[in-house]
Amino acid sequence: MAKEKEKTTYSTGAALLLESLVNQGVEIIFGYPGGAVLPIYDALLNTSIRHVLPRHEQTAVHAADAYARVSGEVGVCLATSGPGATNLVTGIATAYMDSVPIVVLTGQVPTSLLGTDSFQEVDIAGITLPITKHSYIVKDPRDIPRIVKEAFHIASTGRPGPVLIDLPKNVLAEENVVPKPAELDLPSYKFFTKGNAGQIEEAVRVIKESERPVLYAGGGVITAEASEVLQEVVEITNIPVVTTLMGIGSMPSDHPNVLGMVGMHGTVAANHAVNDCDLLIAVGVRFDDRVTSGLGQRFATNAKIIHIDVDPAEIGKVVRAHVPIVGSAKLVLEEIKENLTPPKCEEWWTRIRTWIEEKPQEDPNILTPQAIIKELGNIAKDDAIVTTDVGQHQMWAAQGYPVKNPRHFITSAGLGTMGFGLPAAIGAQIAAPDKQVFLVTGDGSFQMSIQELATTVQCDLPVKIILMNNGVLGMVRQLQKLFLDERYSQIQLKDNPDFIKVAEAYGIKGIRVTEVSQIRQALEDAINHPGPILLDFIISEDEVVTPMVPPGKKLTEMLGR
């Protein structure tokens, strides 16, 4: 009898926490230990959950984020109180901006010390208030199962986002906890799935009557698993498609209807098409200023706008939608598809074709970033995952890499977080151990997470690092070059280390590439190498990302091609 009872009680709050995570299907936690979370690390010794130990908490949260983006599951990370928790902030903001479902666990000082400026105490729930979808401070260990369940529910439903659970040490350490039932108690939480039938009918009508329609697909399509139905809608209607940075992979990039990325570094065809369309079907997008140039109501002025989004607050935030539809992209597109009459857009395509042009051929003897990305696209498997850092290299990858599938291009779009790339590659490779994972990075960004080379080794993660080494903070240099009369300020990374030697110090193979003719061989070597590898591509500091819509200009006022 006594034995039986022991089974239903749990020794500690920490053990109950891990049990609750297992009940949510959690298999892996990215975390970093410390005093306040000792009870969790002790309890970890007795669970099936795998724990990955990076070299910085920011990596833990970025990796959990990328794990979520690749797998579609909720990512979980863990840090101790105080500095451990504050080191998560950039990663939480990154996930928040890109609507990625993660659950963030932070240690906290004991409740008796809360509010007393005690050692390693910060109000992390307060600090992260604007960058979390919701947060909890656990006061009673018996609530842990409910709170964990709620956190996963909130993180993954509606518009996904990070949820933080702050766990005071005494709550984690309390023994013989008899949990309260793990039932959702969220009377005010609501989210939308099915779109309004009348609006859907109206959407079908305006699509039928349109002459120059464009479909503008974003991250919401990928999150909602709507890629398949999107492609069906496109094939029934023959509507051209542009994607956002987050929407890359929502349609196969080589699909004949895909015009490429729209916005600041979008393609000529995509930008002209959006500017001239008479109907913009916006799905899972938020009219970010990287797309609209911050023009707001002056964006795509010739067009009626159908705006489909799961978050009602996105509709009408930047532009007025003529047909607003709140709901999951998948369910809404499925219903639209049911009654769809294709518009007549042959003439429109004739016009669009005049905008589709090959990028001007660069000098074939120069090692250009475009040549590297192109070769990578040729040689990587169709289901390879590419993660990026932030800067010019990110845009070259976005423009040039042929992404075939959703959840296969992982980039920090909304926050633009340098240092995201290597942690993201780690999270991606763990989520998809059998796939090729390439990191496209720059020498600035790479050095914000370079210590994580150790994690790739420790966890046996064969990520292939494509370093576009231009010796400068290229994207900032480009802005200074184009808009500040070449007055370069603080963009030189003159005393960069020898990255090959750095890699070797971590036990990682490195290959330097200086000639176009070496690209193919180097990439093949990387793919055939069983472990992680670094390819150090030496490129010119003077390369620029084009086309470029200067801030505040219309999409058609692009510099370069």
Partner 1 sequence: MQHTLVVLVENNPGVLTRVAGLFARRAYNISSLTVCQTENPAISRMTIVVDGDDTVIEQVMKQLHKLVVVHKVLDLTEETVVERELALVRVKVKSDTRLEILQIVDVFRGRVVDMGRTNLTVELTGDAEKIDAFVRTIRPFGLMELVRTGKIAMTRLDS
Ligand X SMILES: Cc1ncc(C[n+]2csc(CCOP(=O)(O)OP(=O)(O)O)c2C)c(N)n1
Is 169 among the catalytic positions? yes
337 is catalytic: no
Rounded to the nearest whole angstrom, what is the least distance from the CB of residue 367 to ligand X in the complex? 14
CB of 524 to ligand X, least distance (A): 24
Q: Which of 81, 99, 210, 445 binds ligand X (CB under 6 A)?
A: 445
189 sits near partner 1 (criterion: CB under 8 A): yes
Examine residue 54 and say whether the peptide bond preceding it is cis (omega within 30 degrees of 0). no
Among 19, 443, 452, 536, binds ligand X (CB under 6 A): 443
| Longest Cα–Cα distance in the chain | 82
| Interacting partner of 468 out of partner 1, ligand X, none (Cβ under 5 to 8 A depending on kind) | ligand X
Task: Report the partner that residue 134 touches, choosing among partner 1, ligand X, none (CB closer than 5 to 8 A by kind).
Answer: partner 1
**Shortest separation between residue 242's beta carbon and ligand X, angstroms:** 23
Indicate whether 416 belongs to the interface with partner 1 (CB under 8 A): no
CB 130, min distance to partner 1, A: 5
Cβ atoms of 379 and 524 within 8 Å: the answer is: yes
* CA distance linking residue 201 with residue 205, whole number of Å: 6
Closest contact distance (angstroms) between CB of 173 and partner 1 is: 22
The residue from 83, 316, 433, 497 that contacts partner 1 (CB under 8 A) is: 316
Residue 436 backbone zone (phi > 0: left; psi -120 to 50: alpha; other: beta): beta
The least distance separating ligand X from the CB of residue 415, rounded to whole angstroms, comes to 8
- Using CA atoms, how far apart are residues 258 and 235, in angstroms rounded to an integer? 11
Q: How many CB atoms lie within 10 A of CB 294?
A: 14
Q: What are phi and psi of 465, to 5 degrees?
A: -100, 120
Residues 113 to 152 in contact with partner 1, rule: CB under 8 A: 125-126, 129-130, 133-134, 137
Question: CA angle, 62 as apex, 422 and 310 as ends, to 5°?
Answer: 125
DSSP state of 548: B
Do 373 and 440 touch, CB atoms closer than 8 A?
yes
Work out the number of other CB atoms within 10 angstroms of the CB of residue 117: 8
Residues 404-423 interacting with ligand X (rule: CB under 6 A): 416-419
Answer yes or no: are the C-beta atoms of 367 and 542 closer than 8 Å.
Answer: no
Q: For residue 143, how far is the Cα from the chain centroid?
A: 31
CA distances from 161 to 93, 132, 432 (A): 10, 7, 22
What is the 8-class DSSP label of residue 559?
B
Number of C-beta neighbours around residue 410 at 10 A: 29
155 vs 549, beta carbon nearer partner 1: 155
Closer by beta carbon to ligand X, 93 or else 233: 93
* Distance of alpha carbon 38 from the chain centroid: 31
Which of the residues 149, 169, 330, 464 is marked catalytic? 169
Token pair of 21 as six digits:
């995570």
Say which of 97, 246, 395, 475 is annotated catalytic.
475
Is 475 designated active site? yes
Q: With binding defined as CB under 6 A, does residue 121 bind ligand X?
A: no
| Gap between the Cα atoms of 416 and 394, Å rounded | 10
Closest to ligand X by CB, 86 vs 458, is 86
In angstroms, give the least distance from the CB of 140 to partner 1: 13
User: Between 130 and 530, whose beta carbon lies closer to partner 1?
Assistant: 130
Tell me if residue 119 is catalytic.
Answer: yes
User: Is residue 120 annotated as a catalytic residue, yes or no?
Assistant: yes
Residue 41 contacts partner 1 per CB under 8 A: no
Distance, CA of 152 to CA of 467 (rounded, Å): 36
Name the minimum Å distance from CB 172 to ligand X: 32
Give the residue with the Cβ less far from partner 1, 141 or 421. 141
List Cβ neighbours of 190 (8 Å cut-off, separation of 6 or more). 158
We find the least distance from the C-beta atom of residue 189 to partner 1, in angstroms, to be: 5
Closer by beta carbon to partner 1, 89 or else 154 = 154
Taking the least distance from each CB to ligand X, the nearer of 73 and 289 is: 289
> Of 6, 119, 183, 515, which one is the catalytic site residue?
119
- Chain positions 455 to 484 lying near ligand X, rule: CB under 6 A, are 468, 470, 472-476
Cβ closer to ligand X: 90 or 108?
A: 90
| DSSP characters over 449-495 | SGGGHHHHHHTT--PEEEEEE-SB-HHHHHHHHHHSTT---S-B-TT
3-state secondary structure string across 78-97: EECCCHHHHCCHHHHHHHHH
- Binding partner of residue 231 among partner 1, ligand X, none, CB cut-off 5 to 8 Å per kind: none
Instruction: Compute the least distance from the CB of residue 525 to partner 1, in Å.
Output: 49
Q: Measure Cα distances from 374 to 105, 398, 403 in Å.
A: 40, 11, 12
Which of the ranges 28-36, 48-56, 181-189, 262-270 carries the binding residues for partner 1, by CB under 8 A? 181-189
Q: Across-strand partners of 438? A: 386, 464
Segment 152-171, which members bind partner 1 (CB under 8 A)?
Answer: 154
Size of the site for ligand X (CB under 6 A): 20
CB closer to partner 1, 125 vs 385:
125
Cβ closer to ligand X: 282 or 475? 475
Residue from 179, 247, 391, 406 touching ligand X (CB under 6 A): that is 391
338: tokens are 């049911």
Helix (H) / strand (E) element for 243: namely strand 241-243
| Binding residues for ligand X (CB under 6 A) | 389-393, 416-419, 442-445, 468, 470, 472-476
List contacts with partner 1 (CB under 8 A).
125-126, 129-130, 133-134, 137, 154, 186-190, 311-313, 316-317
Which residues have a catalytic role annotated?
A: 57, 119-120, 169, 475
